[in-house]
Amino acid sequence: MIAEAHRRGLTVLELLCVLGVLAVLLAAALPQVSAVWPRVLADQAARQLAADLELARVRAIHRNSRVRAALELASAQYRIEVESEGRFDPEGAPRRLPAGIGFDAAGSTRVVGGRISITFLPRGHTADNATIAVAAPNGQRRRVIVSAAGRVRTE
């Protein structure tokens, strides 16, 4: 009895039982996690794009110049460009949407030649509203909406 009071740790049998229960729980949860993952990626892409568009707006106000976000639908890339001496120069490297996520032309507005261009004016507003849809292969879609006042939001 005294020896059992000082016993610490688990037996191999107890450890195997715990591992078996964990394996069953993991096997039950895995299909649900894999079904949610594309939505998580689409949400992440929409939030990142919205943050970059908001940053472009702030740069336009701060620099008192026009700043453009140029989105290439086919390559799922976009870049921020700053106007200098009448032309737009890229600022930084192009940004790419997460793997498996792309721009959805059918859910987007202002698509011209496979591109969407949103220009923020020095006061932070744009010439027109814009909607940019990002989509996962399973059809999960999120939208980034830019109002004429320059407000950026996701849906």
Do 134 and 148 form a contact (C-beta atoms < 8 A)? no
Q: What pTM does this model have?
A: 0.79
**CA-to-CA separations, 23 to 16, 17, 65, 93, in angstroms, rounded:** 10, 10, 58, 44
Per-residue pLDDT reduced to its tens digit, 84-123: 999 999 999 999 999 999 999 999 999 999 999 999 999 9
As a whole number, the mean pLDDT across the chain is 91
The DSSP output letter for 98 is P
Measured distance between the N- and C-terminal CA atoms of the chain, rounded to whole angstroms? 64
What is 37-154's CATH superfamily?
minor pseudopilin epsh domain (3.55.40.10)
Residue 8, SS3 per DSSP: coil
Whole-angstrom distance, CA of residue 36 vs CA of residue 45: 15
CA atoms within 13 A on the CB side of 94: 11
**Residue 145: pLDDT above 80?**
yes
Residue 26, SS3 per DSSP: helix
Mean pLDDT for 12-39 is 83
For residue 113, the model assigns a pLDDT of 95
Whole-angstrom distance, CA of residue 138 vs CA of residue 155: 18
Mean pLDDT for 12-29 is 87
How many other C-beta atoms lie within 10 A of the C-beta of residue 54?
17
Whole-angstrom distance, CA of residue 79 vs CA of residue 94: 5
**Residue 63: pLDDT above 90?**
yes
Break the chain into its structural domains and give their ranges.
Answer: 37-154
For residue 102, the model assigns a pLDDT of 96
**Residue 35: pLDDT above 70?**
yes
For residue 10, the model assigns a pLDDT of 77
